[in-house]
């Protein structure tokens, strides 16, 4: 379904009971983000929020994509899997043998549909240019400040348009923009992104790079900007396919080389000059749940700001999951399953990206297994597939598993996984936001092959008994006083894995602890131990997994152990440990800064608490940040090592 504009989408949300209008004044500086964080973490993702009283001329729309239902409404489908099914049917029709004239004629309507999805540049101005600011000033827009240690206000839902100066190929991406002044922002594109490649081409030519930023319009624009498309596929073709109607574009006023959607609410035009000095951008509370630390990024000079009459400023926040971006990620997981299956990994049946893995950190793939070693083939194909190259932990299962049922999945994977032979380590490109890597953007990966093994894959030297009935959690904690908590609930449901919270106090501490704990025989039968910070509640499984996945470089931080079994003579028992604790120079020879987790400021929490009854949001929802206050190390975005207690 094609929305006429963002207002049409807002009206649809309201009619569906998916939107709350907030008429009480709420400050874009921290308060909007705090309210949105509370609502987005309620069951089902809460409601979309329209803040109508912001102290600016424009209302702010938040959490518009923040549930499965709203994501489906944005994409015009009943179920997210519907899009993948349509792509798969289209692929089969176009690739099937054409044996006669009737077969060929059947394809013609689809070819016509292709043409109807291609974006079109129309003459004249669009609704997005109904009002032209006499003097462009981005500080006139209600740009939100999300978290207390952010470098400033950030544009968080920008649809950014650039072109290759040689081929004139368009790219539409989404990169945060820190506001530094009325006509200056940062342009936070990572080195792996297409717009960064365009920038490098302009740098070679010594030319200024035209850029345009659209905000609002049909909600599929923002989704398409986040989609992991190949470089040569126009994001507006995907948008046209999703909305079943071509995107109409208009030329910018001061940057006519760039076209933007005619129905956008705001357009910010400008340029990036390769000859400029970079600007120190950040910190920013990012989707990992940690602050991404400041670094040097290009300057974006604003030359014009236009908007439609009565526009709405769209924004989002990211932080400790779950947040609105989880549903954008879920849409990508479902939509791009079909292309991955059809072009790269035909044996893939399904995939899942748990929210605790914040997209790249943890991916589960289910395959139809037909021969030994097939998991390794899938592993290599997945890590070579576009943005899947950033994946840190890949878990493989086969047809016997139910991968969306995490309890059942874990039982299946652990029952078929030998930690000595079925965990594979590699290294390669990583997300620039992954703070656990010893080097920026380069680190370790692992694959856990939890598929049912064929004879050729088995090693009969190993056997795994059930966890000893003598296992005593309190006894272990008395024997190893640095252990502050143990989650022993998983072995009780036939998942041989422990999560242990440790107060690390010396070099090689976790490595030595794991060796001693395994050698004691107390945990014989356990296949994996995940070590987390002593501040983490090991029995809060979602939080413990989120912290663990973020803080782990699998290749560097794994600790193998194997010894003759005490319970099964002649057999070997193996247990793999993983150090998911904070890394420091003193204890780990870690040279990079380590970021803090993201929580709201006490004064912001108190301010929102005081006005909650006026907001019309129903029963009081306490700040999610309260749960994480005691997991912080000091108050700054960068962890102060003096605060490690």
Length of the chain, in residues: 645
DSSP 93-143: HHHS---SHHHHHHHHHHHHHHHHHS-EEPSS--GGGSEE-SS--GGGS-P
| 418-449 core/surface letters (b: 16 or more CB in 10 A; e: else) | bbbebbbeebebbbbbbbbbbeebebbbbbbb
Whole-number pLDDT of residue 190: 81
CB 3 within 8 A of CB 218: yes
DSSP 408-424: HHHHHHHHH--TTTSEE
Question: What is the Cα 429 distance to its own chain's centre?
Answer: 16
CB 502 within 8 A of CB 510: yes
Q: Longest Cα pair distance anywhere in the chain, in angstroms?
A: 84
- Of 258, 270, 219, which is closest to residue 19 (Cα–Cα)? 219
CA distance 36 to 17: 17
Give, rounded to a whole angstrom, the gap between the first and last alpha carbons of the chain.
Answer: 55
Enzyme catalytic residues: 286
pLDDT averaged per 10 residues in sequence order, the chain, 645 residues: 93 97 98 98 96 98 96 91 73 51 52 73 96 97 98 97 94 96 94 86 95 97 88 86 92 98 98 96 95 95 98 97 91 82 84 88 95 95 87 96 94 96 95 93 96 94 74 85 93 93 96 95 92 95 96 97 91 96 94 95 98 97 96 89 57
CB 487 within 8 A of CB 544: yes
Query: Crossing angle, helix 31-40 and helix 602-611, to 10 degrees?
Result: 70
- Of 551, 518, 514, which is closest to residue 535 (Cα–Cα)? 551
CA distance 549 to 640: 21
pTM: 0.92
Whole-number pLDDT of residue 172: 95
Q: Calculate the alpha carbon distances from 35 to 45, 589, 622, 637 in Å.
A: 13, 40, 10, 21
Collapsing DSSP states into helix, strand and coil, what is residue 292? strand
Strands 497-502 and 528-533: parallel
């Amino acid at each position: 379904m094609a929305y006429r504009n963002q207002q049409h989408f807002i009206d649809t949300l309201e009619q569906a009971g998916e939107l709350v209008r907030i008429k009480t004044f709420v400050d874009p500086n921290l308060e909007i983000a705090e309210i949105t964080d509370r609502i987005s973490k309620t069951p089902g993702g809460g409601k979309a929020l329209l803040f109508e009283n912001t102290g600016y001329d424009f209302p702010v729309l938040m959490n518009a994509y923040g549930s499965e239902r709203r994501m489906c409404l944005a994409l015009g489908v009943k179920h997210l899997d519907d899009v993948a099914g349509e792509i798969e049917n289209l692929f089969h029709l176009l690739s099937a043998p054409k044996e006669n004239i009737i077969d060929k004629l059947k394809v013609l309507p689809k070819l016509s549909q292709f043409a109807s999805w291609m974006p079109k540049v129309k003459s004249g101005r669009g609704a997005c240019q109904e009002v032209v600011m006499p003097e462009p000033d981005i500080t006139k827009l209600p740009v939100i400040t999300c978290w207390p240690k952010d470098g400033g206000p950030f544009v968080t839902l920008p649809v950014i348009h650039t072109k290759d100066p040689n081929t004139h190929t368009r790219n539409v991406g989404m990169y945060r923009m820190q506001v530094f002044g009325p006509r200056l922002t940062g342009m936070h594109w990572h080195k792996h992104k297409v717009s960064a490649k365009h920038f490098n081409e302009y740098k070679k030519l010594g030319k200024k790079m035209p850029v345009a930023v659209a905000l609002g319009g049909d909600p599929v624009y923002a989704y398409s900007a986040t989609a992991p498309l190949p470089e040569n596929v126009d994001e507006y073709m995907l948008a046209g396919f999703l909305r079943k109607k071509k995107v109409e574009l208009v030329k910018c006023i001061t940057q006519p080389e760039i076209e933007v959607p005619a129905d956008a609410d705001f357009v910010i035009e400008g340029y990036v000059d390769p000859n400029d000095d970079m600007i120190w951008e950040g910190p920013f509370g990012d989707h990992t749940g940690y602050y991404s630390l400041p670094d040097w990024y290009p300057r974006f000079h604003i030359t014009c700001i236009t908007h439609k009459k009565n526009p709405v400023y769209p924004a989002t926040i990211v932080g400790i999951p779950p947040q609105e971006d989880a549903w954008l990620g879920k849409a990508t997981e479902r939509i791009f399953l079909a292309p991955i299956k059809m072009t790269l990994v035909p044996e893939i049946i399904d995939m899942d990206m748990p929210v605790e893995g914040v997209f790249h950190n943890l991916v589960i793939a289910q395959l139809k297994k037909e021969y030994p070693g097939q998991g390794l083939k899938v592993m290599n194909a997945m890590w070579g597939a576009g943005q899947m190259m950033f994946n840190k932990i890949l878990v493989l299962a086969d047809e016997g598993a139910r991968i969306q049922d995490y309890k059942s999945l874990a039982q299946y994977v652990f029952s078929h996984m030998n930690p000595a032979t079925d965990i594979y380590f590699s290294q390669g490109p990583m997300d620039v936001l992954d703070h656990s890597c010893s080097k920026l953007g380069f680190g370790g990966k692992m694959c856990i092959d939890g598929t049912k093994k064929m004879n050729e894959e088995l090693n009969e030297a190993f056997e795994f008994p059930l966890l000893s009935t003598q296992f005593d959690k309190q006894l272990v904690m008395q024997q190893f006083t640095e252990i502050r908590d143990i989650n022993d609930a998983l072995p009780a449901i036939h998942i041989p894995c422990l999560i242990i919270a440790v107060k690390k106090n010396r070099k090689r501490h976790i490595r030595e602890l794991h060796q001693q704990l395994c050698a004691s025989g107390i945990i014989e039968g356990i296949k994996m131990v995940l070590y987390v910070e002593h501040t983490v509640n090991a029995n809060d499984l979602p939080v413990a997994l989120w912290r663990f996945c973020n803080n782990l470089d699998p290749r560097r931080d794994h600790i193998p152990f194997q010894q003759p079994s005490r319970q099964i003579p002649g057999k070997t028992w193996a247990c793999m440990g993983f150090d998911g604790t904070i890394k420091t120079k003193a204890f780990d020879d870690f040279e990079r800064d380590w970021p803090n987790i993201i929580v709201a400021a006490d004064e912001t929490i108190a301010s929102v608490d005081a006005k909650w009854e006026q907001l019309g949001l129903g029963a009081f929802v306490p700040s999610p940040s309260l749960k994480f206050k005691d997991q912080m190390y000091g108050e700054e975005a960068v962890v102060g090592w003096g605060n490690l207690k």
